[in-house]
Amino acid sequence: MKIIKLNAIDSTNTFLKDMVSKMSIDDFTVVVAKTQTKGRGQMNSEWVVDEGKNLTFSVFCRFEALCVEDHKYLNFCVSLSVLEALNEIEVPNLAVKWPNDILSGNKKIVGILIENSLKGSNISSSVIGIGINVNQDIFSDKLPNASSIKMILKKETDLETLLEAVLLKLKKNIGLLEEKEYKLLEESYLKVLYKKNVPTMFKNNQNILFMGKIIGVSKNGNLQIELEDETVQEFGLKEVSFANL
């Protein structure tokens, strides 16, 4: 495992993708930055961090035979890796808010961005970006649901130790992915999926409120919500949100 440490960078995902485009790099190369000036979340949302207080890193992974249609299992694998590492330091009430935000209670402490390169019908490689709020204790008023491990545990966490723990879990779970242990990954993910089987108020991208309960994730990675009339509707990224989060 090769780890590249940087002081400041626009985005670890952008930096690593640029490296991949210019040279041959080793599988599981990791880029870690003390701060990101243009960190990105899902759908080009911004990921803002305080310098030196959090973990912002990206991992390059190469795959032999991962079908594009099985991309959801890669998402499960990455989400579970971070959650398992946080479990080991006893962060309470952990859950994955679909598709891959990690919450403690109803506070977001981790964001994940996976960018895939395709070759035919397969994912040939991925750049996996992970941002963990670790020792930051002040967040913008624009981020009312953001929190950090320090704010939750009331103590600081060593960044190097946590990084090592996440990378070890990621290696283990990518091993399961490559062995096509899809059922195990899905069962583990659904056990920690936020609000699964809990009647909840949602709003769609037209801001229309509706009641339903999350029952799972479809074959193509969409969120499955059972409505009050017991029909099941699927939603893609940014097509649905929790009304109270």
Domains of the chain (ranges, CATH numbers): 2-192 (3.30.930.10), 198-242 (2.30.30.100)
pLDDT, residue 46, reads 52
Q: Can you tell me the mean pLDDT for 2-15?
A: 93
User: Is 50 exceeded by the pLDDT of residue 197?
Assistant: yes
pLDDT, residue 39, reads 57
Residue type, 160: E
Residue type, 164: E
Q: Can you tell me the mean pLDDT for 31-51?
A: 67
pLDDT in tens, 89-142: 999 999 999 999 999 999 999 999 999 999 999 999 999 999 999 999 998 888
User: Is 80 exceeded by the pLDDT of residue 14?
Assistant: yes
pLDDT, residue 43, reads 47
Q: Can you tell me the mean pLDDT for 2-7?
A: 94
User: Is 60 exceeded by the pLDDT of residue 45?
Assistant: no
DSSP secondary structure string for all residues of 204-245? ETT--EEEEEEEEE-TTSPEEEEETTS-EEEE-TTSEEETT-
pLDDT, residue 144, reads 86
Give residue 48's pLDDT band: very low, low, confident or very high (50, 70, 90): low
Give residue 222's pLDDT band: very low, low, confident or very high (50, 70, 90): very high
The arrangement of strands across the sheet holding 232-235 comes to 232-235, 223-227, 209-217, 200-204, 240-242
Model confidence, pTM: 0.93
Share of the chain above pLDDT 90, in %: 86
pLDDT, residue 8, reads 86
Residues 165, 103: Cα–Cα separation, whole Å = 18
User: Is 60 exceeded by the pLDDT of residue 47?
Assistant: no
pLDDT, residue 244, reads 80
Average pLDDT of every residue of the chain: 93
Of the candidates 60, 3, 11, the residue with the CA atom closest to the CA atom of residue 35: 11
Q: Can you tell me the mean pLDDT for 20-37?
A: 93
